[in-house]
Amino acid sequence: MKKEGSKDWKSEIMGGGFLVQSGILRHINFVLFVFALIILYIGINFGIERSLLTERQNQRELKHLKADYTSKSARLLNQSKRVEIENRLRKNGSMLKLPSEPPGRLVMEEKL
């Protein structure tokens, strides 16, 4: 006898009979609205999570690029020193020599 009662209870839930008896079908518009809000909330959370992941990846890449820039800048600064340039010229067998006089200024007269 107990089995019949449990079958009635299960069939009532599976068949949706409890919804009719509780009167929830009168508020179906509100239930659908809440369901839509829940779906929208989940979608927004997924979008935010994706954008945060992209931001973290971009921050990591930016950190690596800054380190690369710093090392290249230091290397270039060292290579542009006068002594370093002279050493490289000598090493490559260049015939260039240091100027004996400081650079001068050329002055041109304007013709009217």
Are 24 and 31 within 8 A, CB to CB? yes
Q: Evaluate whether residue 35 is within a structural domain.
A: yes
Work out the percent of the chain whose per-residue pLDDT is above 90: 38
Are 98 and 91 within 8 A, CB to CB? no
Q: Evaluate whether residue 110 is within a structural domain.
A: no
Full residue range of the structural domain in which residue 33 is found: 19-91
Q: Evaluate whether residue 1 is within a structural domain.
A: no
Distance (Å, whole) CA 67 – CA 79: 18
Domain count, the chain: 1
Q: Evaluate whether residue 42 is within a structural domain.
A: yes
pTM tops 0.75, yes or no: no
> Computed from CA positions of residues 17, 18, 23, 28, in that sequence, does the dihedral angle turn out positive or negative?
negative
Of 12-26, 48-62, 98-112, the least confident = 12-26
Q: Rounded mean pLDDT of 36-51?
A: 97
